[in-house]
Amino acid sequence: MDLTREEQQMLSGADGEGYKKVMEILVELGEFYKAKRLVPVSLGYITLGPTPSKPGKAIEWLEELVDLGVTFKCPVFVPTDFGGRVGPDYEINRKLGAIFAYQGGGHARNPFYLPVFGQHIIGDGTSVTHYMNSYIGARANTEDFIGEYSAAIVGKTPEYGLHLTENRIGKTLFDIKVRLKDETDWSALGYYISRTLGTHYWDVPVINGVKPDEVTNDDLDTFSSSVPAYGACVHSLLVGISPEARTLEEAFAGEKPKQTFVVGSEELNGVYKTFSAVEEKPDMISVGGFGVNVSIDTVMKLVNLLEGKKVSEDFPTVIALDGPVKLTADGMGLTDKLRKAGVMIGMSEFMEAHNVDTSNLTSSPVMSAKRYGLKNIVFTDAKTCHYIENQGVNSVLKHIEEAAKIAISGRIEV
């Protein structure tokens, strides 16, 4: 890799051991991916996330770096929830110079500070990375905390993967022949594409046939959560909406797609069938879940559906909301209305009811369903359905209207 004089200086240790350590990582990574150079990153979204052990080796690794005196070289936004406010990573991020202005890591619903077209950024998890690549036209790869913190400390990242124009061009075509009626449908479409691409997630999917005036930003956010769920796709092109795909021709840069998939109602319904009920009685209903927090539109829909009604007391009904959505819902009196209907607001209320440390993300019911004896859970998004299956949970995917009906009646139609 070609390094500038300043970069070579950092690599040699002239700026201190901490910078040397992270620079060595970036250079080895860059050489592994045959990157020619480092490129500056304009900002970063970083979520350290949970560790199996407490405090965990990841925390120790970062503490060592902080002790060596490094700081962030670009604005870095970290979530203020799941332990971030009081946990050991709060002190680490504070010392590094983080901005605590981005509630609810794991999805792109909340960042108030956005990159602009063409900038190289640190994109947090797969959902945020997909959103920024696909709808802003910023450039990021999915990396772990090691890559993210290293890039933020150096202020640069190796130019590989989706930082390069040639890797951002459409390769496969998904022709949409079905109307997507809500966020759950968008979530199901994302999962269908994710599964279809399988291990070839770098074959950038182009989604054609959706009317731009029928799409909401919340649809895009929800789609961003599920399209990487099965196989790590973090860049797609939605024709008419993605800045790099104003037309179908632009999406493929004049080339022909390698493969074309038609998505009709049969394909979309197939996703709902994958996550269908085997038992009548749910153990929980979770609107939002694994890094998928709901939109204000979903909150309003649920409030309307539960107006003057009570949810079943046989199992918890939880809605996961955070950041600006939570503040708005509070301000509009919507969370009060949901509470009155018997809905728990946020996973933390569920955890408090079980006397569990709410700052420990791994104790959340969607990460430790087994611990709470949850075997049959209704969700309104496909990402959570997919992720929770590893715990032997039968996940059921339903539209918000159906989820509300089940919450009231206490029964799923099998």
Partner 1 sequence: MMEGTIILKSTHKGIGGIGEGEALVCQEPINLMADTGNVWEDASDTTFTSKTATPSVFGKNFSGKVLVFPTGKGGIFSSNIMMDVVAAGSAPKAIVNRRTHPVWAFLSIVLRIPLVDELDQDPCEVIKTGDWVKVDGEKGIVEITKRKK
Burial class (CB in 10 A: 0-12, 13-18, 19+), 187: buried
Of residues 282-321, which lie at the interface with partner 1 (CB under 8 A)? none
Helix (H, G, I), strand (E, B) or coil at 70: coil
Of 252 and 387, the one with the shorter C-beta distance to partner 1 is: 387
48 is an interface residue for partner 1 by CB under 8 A = yes
Supply the minimum distance, in Å, between the C-beta of residue 133 and partner 1.
Answer: 13
Q: Find out whether 155 and 188 touch, Cβ atoms under 8 Å.
A: no
190 is an interface residue for partner 1 by CB under 8 A = no
Contacts by 345-348, CB closer than 8 A, 24 or more apart = 345/318, 345/319, 345/321, 346/318, 346/319, 346/320, 346/321, 346/322, 347/318, 347/320
Of 125 and 240, the one with the shorter C-beta distance to partner 1 is: 125
- Of 68-76, 92-100, 179-187, 227-235, the window that binds partner 1 (rule: CB under 8 A) is 227-235
Of 162 and 296, the one with the shorter C-beta distance to partner 1 is: 162
Of 27 and 329, the one with the shorter C-beta distance to partner 1 is: 27
Of residues 152-171, which lie at the interface with partner 1 (CB under 8 A)? 161
Of 55 and 264, the one with the shorter C-beta distance to partner 1 is: 55
In total, the chain counts a number of residues equal to 414
Burial class (CB in 10 A: 0-12, 13-18, 19+), 383: buried
Task: Annotate 387-408 with b (16+ C-beta within 10 A) or e (fewer).
Answer: bbeebebbbbbbbbebbbebbb
61 is an interface residue for partner 1 by CB under 8 A = yes
29 is an interface residue for partner 1 by CB under 8 A = yes
Of 189 and 306, the one with the shorter C-beta distance to partner 1 is: 189
Of 143 and 182, the one with the shorter C-beta distance to partner 1 is: 143
Binding to partner 1 by CB under 8 A, coded x per residue (else -) over 82-121, reads: ----------------------------------------
How many C-alpha atoms does 252 have within 13 Å on its Cβ side?
17
Binding to partner 1 by CB under 8 A, coded x per residue (else -) over 231-260, reads: xx-x--------------------------
Q: Find out whether 42 and 120 touch, Cβ atoms under 8 Å.
A: yes
143 is an interface residue for partner 1 by CB under 8 A = yes
Task: Annotate 124-142 with b (16+ C-beta within 10 A) or e (fewer).
Answer: bbbbbbbbbbbbbbbbbbb
Tokens describing residue 91: 């002190």
58 is an interface residue for partner 1 by CB under 8 A = yes
Of residues 334-393, which lie at the interface with partner 1 (CB under 8 A)? 362, 367-368, 370-371, 386-387, 389-392
Nearest in space to 375 (alpha carbons), one of 276, 274, 272, 279:
279
Give the β-pairing of 259-263 and 344-345. Answer: unpaired
Of 53 and 355, the one with the shorter C-beta distance to partner 1 is: 53
Q: Find out whether 75 and 113 touch, Cβ atoms under 8 Å.
A: yes
Supply the minimum distance, in Å, between the C-beta of residue 83 and partner 1.
Answer: 13
Q: How many residues bind partner 1 (CB under 8 A)?
A: 52
- Of 1-9, 54-62, 70-78, 277-285, the window that binds partner 1 (rule: CB under 8 A) is 54-62
Q: What is the 3-state secondary structure (H, E, C) of 309-321?
A: CCCCCCCCEEECC
Give the β-pairing of 172-176 and 156-158. Answer: unpaired
Binding site for partner 1 (CB under 8 A): 25, 28-29, 31-34, 47-53, 56-58, 61, 124-126, 141-148, 150, 161, 198-199, 201-202, 228-232, 234, 362, 367-368, 370-371, 386-387, 389-392
